[in-house]
Amino acid sequence: MKKFTIVLLLAFLALGAVSAADLYYEKGDSAFSFNLGVDFPLFMGFTNSDKGTVTGSDGTHLKLGGYGSLSYQSFLTRNLALGAELGYAFNYSRSEKLFNTIPITAKLSWYAFQNGKWDVITHANLGIAILRYDNQRYMAPHAEITVSPVYYFSNSWGAGIKGGMWLNAEFYGSSSNKNGDNAIAGFVPLTLLLVYRH
């Protein structure tokens, strides 16, 4: 896994170096994006050593779910954009109870490759998520790392795919009767992406 991460990082750096001479965006440009797709429950890691880490739908007890989001970003430099993203995800448990996630994050995007027709973008999101399961509500730290290739079929509109990983952390204090449930949950979103830039 570590070797794969290093190779992926080097590939993005190479793309950035290749495209550096022909950058499409200017400081102050902006982009709206709309995502719609699915999310896969990947793992749930408990700090309680008796529970350990469970993986996939069998371990997490969550089924394949849906995900959608809206985001806006403005370019700080010709390669870097900053903005915000509001999302909504849902999964059902094996007992058919609904698990909702509403992530509200700041979003930093690095345009590793850009030529006017194609973008390859790496996104890092950090913020909070409002989690709800079986009438219980909780606010949790939320983080995402995603990658999206985008093809522009007009000067303003583009379409692509977006995938990566997001993490939600659930922490309870030592005085809580749920402190044995401290956990980090990982999900893999895979979405279709529609972008409007100007």
Cα–Cα distances in Å, from 87 out to 49, 131, 197?
32, 12, 20
Over residues 13-32, mean pLDDT = 74
- Condensed to tens digits (0 to 9), the pLDDT of residues 79-134 reads 999 999 999 999 998 888 899 999 999 999 999 999 999 999 999 999 999 999 87
Mean pLDDT, the chain, integer = 86
pLDDT > 70 in the chain, percent: 78
Which pLDDT band, with edges at 50, 70 and 90, does 157 fall under? Answer: very high
What pTM, to 2 d.p., does this model score?
Answer: 0.82
* Residue-range domains of the chain with CATH: 2-197 (2.40.160.20)
- CA atoms of 153 and 11, how far apart (whole Å): 25
Beta pairing, strands 98-114 & 80-92: antiparallel
Q: Report residue 45 CA to chain centroid gap.
A: 18
Tokens encoding 146: 């995603």
Phi and psi, residue 24, nearest 5°: -90, -40
Output the pLDDT for position 51.
Answer: 64
- CA atoms of 77 and 27, how far apart (whole Å): 5
